[in-house]
Structure formats: structure tokens, C-alpha cells
């Protein structure tokens, strides 16, 4: 048995409280190396001779590890536990808080080697909003969704043409009135969460260079109109998530312009990370221009980075964050470039928001492993790029086999607590990436197969506007074309609608049930989700038809016992 591969961390993603009397524990071993694991557990103040035991369940295999889980129940809201591990080679060990020991009655009863959860404090639990687990999101890029009011169009607004290839500086006139006019459309499509790219006053078409966080951009409308959009969305059972950039601010903001004009004497000088004065002209080190006079997002001079360790900056941003909740009743924030902001600020942010709305949803944009932000006191979840990009690598890029995909996804699920995985935002494309139909080389069956796969996974799925309309687009800014309204109710629209309906009809199990991923002998990816009901989904990513006898509730390219390439079949039991 590979002893170096045996691992567990208490009070982490390997050990987390479920409620007053239950804790879930995970254990990891080398792949195909261990026959059985038994958890021995008892109240902290009871003798180890009185332990109860439960055999762990192997829930998946990763690249190099097998993953095991058990749920332990105790009466007095505290626990100590240790692991008995039996290798396939017959090796027999005790794995405890102080190391690995040969199995014996004496070692099993050695109190000092037991892991402990001193008390099940519910206030310390990683609690994520219940409603998120029953939500399908729809991401709206406001400037390109619909032009409902031509009177507020910016100068040189281009004609609405879904076939255009937008430039970075182009405007098409999309606005909040356009969203309001199409809320019934979104209700018909079936989504129940609206995720807006920034709507605040800014210079660009994308609005990530904020000028004033407390004002709606005039090209989109005003606060009264935004309030009406939120209220009407809520009437239709839809939650509203706004996008905010608290890492940096726009160069045309009042605060930055004061620094430009007054230099070190500006009252806002400490709001930014200034290296030298004057701050203009900007020197870009990636272009060999020397050291930059101030810190920015990437090396973008139009986006000076805020000093979020400054209490004044913190108070200013928290005023903004709470303002849109207090007065407009938004339900969630998506936070741009969240990983470049300090943890101290995000802890204050979380505390302020959940004080207003205990079930408020906070999503960080983080493209890598995000465990430091996901311990219950900062974000509910993140944009789940490490998960979804691997899905794309298999389904679209063919960079990894089905077996490798399943292994990677199993490992990914082990990074976070169950409640965190359930609150992840799962999206295959967005304003930052090429559209899935383009990445799928215009193969609509393949694009919808990958979407269906995401819809069967743990986490809250998100559709990018226009994916239901058969829209194409390369990387930013080509993925931001004006919405093609001509394909409403078309064949692709109907298939996406069916996926959304299925997800929401079965949101209890798909949102919160256990997840088991595997590959069948004939090469199909198999997804099993269990709770009160069981859902089994098969995805054919091979190059030929596969015979399988099913009576699917939802399928694509399945007929007469054969699941075709790019097809899927989902069975409900």
C-alpha cells in the first residue's frame, strides 16, 4: 500500500459539518491501491473503546487518487474519528491525526491519534444559498441583447446586425428597456436567473471600466428603469445578479482623474497603487517601456488598480455593494477579477451582504483553484472555469480522453465542500470566450451535447445570451454580436428550452444530489446523480454509434437502441 498517498485534512473540504449532528468526511488513497476504509468515531469526551464504525464509499477515481466518503452522525455536536485502511496487498494501517500506524487494538484505541471536530458550530458552516441550486442562469451583455429605446443610443450607434463582427469600440444600442421588453421571452425560455454584465456608468461598451458605480449608464437607462427590470424579473420568479469590478476602476472616474491632475497631493492618491509620479504617460513593461507608474488590471492603463486594503476604499466599495441590495433588491454579485483583491476585503464584503440578505449569492471570477476564497466567509462559489474548460477540452478540443476527463472532474469535485460545489457557476461560454457553437466547429449537436453534460453536473448552469439562437462568434469581441432575434422558437431554441425545463424539473437531485462519474466499457461517459430519485445520463463522445438499451426521458441522437456520436440519453428512475 502506498502510504505517501493516504491523506485527509480535518475541518476542510475533507471534513465539513452538514448540520447539528452530521459531518461528512473524505479520504484519498492511491488509485486501485486500497480495498476498504473504515471510519471509527465517537464523541470527543467518550472513550475510544466506545467507537462506532462505518465503511467508506469509493465515489470516484482521479488522475492518481481514489476518493472515499462517509457521513458520520453523533448526538452531542462534536466528534473524534480515525481511519482503518486495508490495502489490496493486505497491508493494514491506522491513519490518524498524528500519523500512520500498523493496525492493532492498541493503536486503534490511542486517543491522541484521533482527528477532531471540537464542536459543530453552524455559524462556521459553509452555507450556500438554497435557491441557487434550483437556478438556471442566463448571461446578458446589455449592449448587445436588445435595443428597446433608441433615444438613448450613443453617437455613431451601428445598425442592429447579428451577422456583424463587432469592433472593440462599437456600439449597437442595447439597453435595459430591451431587457424589460423581453422578460416574457426569458420566462418562456425557462431560465430563472439573470446575470448582467456591468450596467454602471462607464466609457466603454462593456462597462468594465467603471466611472460611477452608483449610476446606471445613460446609454442603458436610469435607476427607475433598472428598478422596474428587477421588480418585473422577481414577479416572474427570476433572480438578478449584477457584475461589479472592485479590483480596478475606470480612468475617467472622478477619483483617478484627481490623481492625474494633483499627483501625490490628491486626496485619492492612497486609493491606488502608485509607483511614481506623474502617473501619465503610462509605461507598459510588456512592451519594453520600463516600469509602470501605477498598478493596473493586466497592463491596461485605462483600468488603474484600487488599493482595497485602504479602509476608505473598502468603505466606498461596501457602500456600493450594499446600495444596490438595499434600494434595488438585487440577489447576487458576480465579482470581476476577484482573485486580485485581498481576502480581508472580501471577508468584510461577505459579512455586509449576508447581513442584508442571508441567502445572498456571491460569485468570484477566478480561473484557477479557488479554495482560499471558498471557506464560507468570502464567496458562495466561483465561475467554475477549471471544471468547464476541461469539459471543453474533451468535447470540443479532443485534448483528453473520456477517462481522463472523468478523472480530472472527480479530482475537481474533491477540492471543495459539497455546498460549495452546488453553488458553482458553470458556463461553457461568456463575454470573455468564443461561443460554444464556434468552438464546436459549427456542430450544433456537439455544442448541445456539451451543454447537456453541464446541465447534469453539480453546480448552477449558465447560458450565454444567443446560444439558444444558434449564434456563432470567436473570441472577444466577436462573441459579443447583437442578439439574433429571428430564431426564437426555432429547432435549437426548442432543444435548449427542453434542457432548461429538465434541469429545473429535477433540480432537487441535479442541484444537490450525489455525483458519480465514470466511463462504460463501450466508451460512454456515464453520470449518475442520486437523491430522492436517480438520474443516469450517457454521453457518446466516441466516433461511432454505441448500442445501449434505454427508455430516456430526454435524449439527442438516440434511436432504436443506438446512441449516435454527439448524442446523449438521460434516464430518470
What are the residue numbers of the active site? 336, 365
Partners of 241 in the β-ladder: 195, 332
Question: CB-based burial of residue 138 (10 Å sphere; 0-12 exposed, 13-18 middle, 19+ buried)?
Answer: buried
32 closest CA partner among 82, 83, 89, 91: 89
CB 439 within 8 A of CB 113: no
- Quickly count: other Cβ atoms within 10 Å of residue 401's Cβ: 13
- Quickly count: other Cβ atoms within 10 Å of residue 547's Cβ: 9
Alpha carbon distance 48, 356 (integer Å): 44
CB 237 within 8 A of CB 243: no
Q: How many CA atoms lie within 13 A of 362 on its CB side?
A: 28
Alpha carbon distance 44, 54 (integer Å): 17
CB 387 within 8 A of CB 424: yes
CB 274 within 8 A of CB 259: yes
212 closest CA partner among 221, 225, 199, 194: 199
Alpha carbon distance 532, 191 (integer Å): 24
For residue 312, give every residue at least 6 positions away whose Cβ sits within 8 Å of its Cβ, in sequence order, or none.
270, 271
* 3-class SS of residue 119: coil
Alpha carbon distance 419, 382 (integer Å): 12
* 3-class SS of residue 124: helix
| Cis preceding linkage at 278, omega within 30 | yes
Residues in the chain: 573
148 closest CA partner among 483, 480, 427, 390: 483
Question: CB-based burial of residue 102 (10 Å sphere; 0-12 exposed, 13-18 middle, 19+ buried)?
Answer: exposed
CB 280 within 8 A of CB 234: no
CB 136 within 8 A of CB 500: yes
> Beta-strand (E) ranges in 375-430?
381-382, 425-427
Alpha carbon distance 133, 144 (integer Å): 28
Alpha carbon distance 205, 246 (integer Å): 18
CB 16 within 8 A of CB 122: no
Q: Helical H runs in 87-217? A: 105-108, 142-145, 176-181, 183-189
Alpha carbon distance 281, 76 (integer Å): 64
Amino acid at each position: 500500500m502506498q502510504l505517501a498517498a493516504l491523506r485527509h485534512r480535518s475541518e476542510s473540504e475533507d471534513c465539513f459539518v452538514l448540520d447539528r449532528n452530521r459531518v461528512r468526511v473524505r479520504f484519498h488513497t492511491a488509485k486501485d491501491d486500497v480495498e476498504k476504509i473504515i471510519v471509527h468515531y465517537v464523541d470527543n469526551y467518550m472513550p475510544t473503546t466506545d467507537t462506532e464504525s462505518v465503511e467508506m464509499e469509493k465515489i470516484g477515481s482521479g488522475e492518481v487518487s481514489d476518493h472515499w466518503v462517509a457521513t458520520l452522525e453523533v448526538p452531542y455536536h462534536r466528534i473524534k474519528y480515525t481511519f482503518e485502511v486495508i490495502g489490496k496487498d493486505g497491508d493494514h494501517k491506522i491513519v490518524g491525526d498524528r500519523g500512520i500506524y500498523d493496525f492493532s487494538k492498541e493503536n486503534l484505541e490511542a486517543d491522541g491519534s484521533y482527528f477532531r471536530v471540537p464542536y459543530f458550530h453552524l455559524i462556521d458552516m459553509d452555507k450556500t444559498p438554497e435557491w441557487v441550486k434550483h437556478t438556471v442562469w442566463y448571461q446578458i451583455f446589455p449592449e448587445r441583447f436588445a435595443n428597446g429605446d433608441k433615444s438613448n443610443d450613443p453617437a455613431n450607434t451601428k445598425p442592429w446586425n447579428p451577422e456583424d463582427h463587432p469592433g472593440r469600440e462599437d456600439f449597437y444600442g442595447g439597453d435595459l428597456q430591451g431587457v424589460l421588453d423581453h422578460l416574457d421571452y426569458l420566462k418562456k425560455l425557462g431560465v430563472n436567473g439573470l446575470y448582467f454584465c456591468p450596467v454602471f456608468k462607464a466609457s466603454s461598451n462593456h462597462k468594465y471600466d467603471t466611472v460611477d458605480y452608483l449610476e446606471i449608464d445613460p446609454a442603458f437607462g436610469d435607476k427607475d428603469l433598472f428598478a422596474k427590470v428587477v421588480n418585473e424579473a422577481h414577479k416572474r420568479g427570476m433572480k438578478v445578479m449584477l457584475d461589479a469590478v472592485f479590483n480596478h476602476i475606470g480612468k475617467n472616474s472622478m477619483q483617478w482623474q484627481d490623481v492625474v491632475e494633483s499627483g501625490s497631493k490628491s486626496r485619492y492618491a492612497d486609493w491606488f497603487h502608485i509607483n511614481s509620479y506623474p502617473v501619465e504617460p503610462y509605461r507598459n513593461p510588456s512592451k519594453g517601456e520600463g516600469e509602470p507608474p501605477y498598478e493596473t488590471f493586466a497592463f491596461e492603463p485605462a483600468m488603474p488598480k484600487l488599493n482595497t486594503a485602504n479602509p476608505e476604499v473598502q468603505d466606498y466599495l461596501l457602500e456600493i455593494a450594499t446600495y444596490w441590495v438595499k434600494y434595488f433588491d438585487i440577489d447576487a454579485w458576480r465579482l470581476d477579477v476577484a482573485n486580485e483583491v485581498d481576502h480581508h476585503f472580501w471577508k468584510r464584503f461577505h459579512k455586509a451582504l449576508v447581513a442584508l440578505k442571508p441567502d445572498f449569492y456571491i460569485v468570484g471570477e477566478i480561473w484557477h483553484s479557488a479554495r482560499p476564497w471558498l471557506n464560507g466567509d468570502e464567496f458562495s462559489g466561483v465561475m467554475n472555469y477549471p471544471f468547464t474548460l476541461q469539459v471543453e477540452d474533451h468535447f470540443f478540443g479532443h485534448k483528453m480522453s473520456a477517462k481522463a476527463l472523468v478523472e480530472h472532474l472527480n479530482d475537481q469535485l474533491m477540492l471543495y465542500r459539497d455546498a460549495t460545489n452546488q453553488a458553482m457557476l458553470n458556463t461553457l461560454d461568456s463575454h470573455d470566450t468564443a461561443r460554444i457553437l464556434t468552438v464546436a466547429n459549427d456542430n450544433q449537436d456537439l455544442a448541445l451535447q456539451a451543454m447537456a453534460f453541464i446541465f447534469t453536473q453539480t453546480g448552477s448552469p449558465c447560458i450565454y445570451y444567443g446560444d439558444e439562437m444558434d449564434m456563432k462568434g470567436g473570441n472577444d469581441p466577436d462573441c459579443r454580436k447583437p442578439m439574433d432575434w429571428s430564431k426564437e422558437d426555432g429547432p435549437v431554441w426548442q432543444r435548449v428550452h427542453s434542457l432548461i425545463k429538465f434541469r429545473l424539473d429535477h433540480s432537487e437531485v441535479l442541484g444537490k444530489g450525489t455525483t458519480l462519474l465514470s466511463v462504460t466499457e463501450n466508451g460512454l461517459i456515464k453520470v449518475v446523480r442520486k437523491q430522492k430519485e436517480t438520474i443516469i445520463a450517457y454521453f457518446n463522445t466516441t466516433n461511432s454509434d454505441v448500442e445501449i438499451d434505454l427508455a430516456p426521458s430526454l435524449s439527442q441522437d438516440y434511436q432504436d437502441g443506438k446512441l449516435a456520436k454527439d448524442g446523449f440519453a438521460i434516464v430518470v428512475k
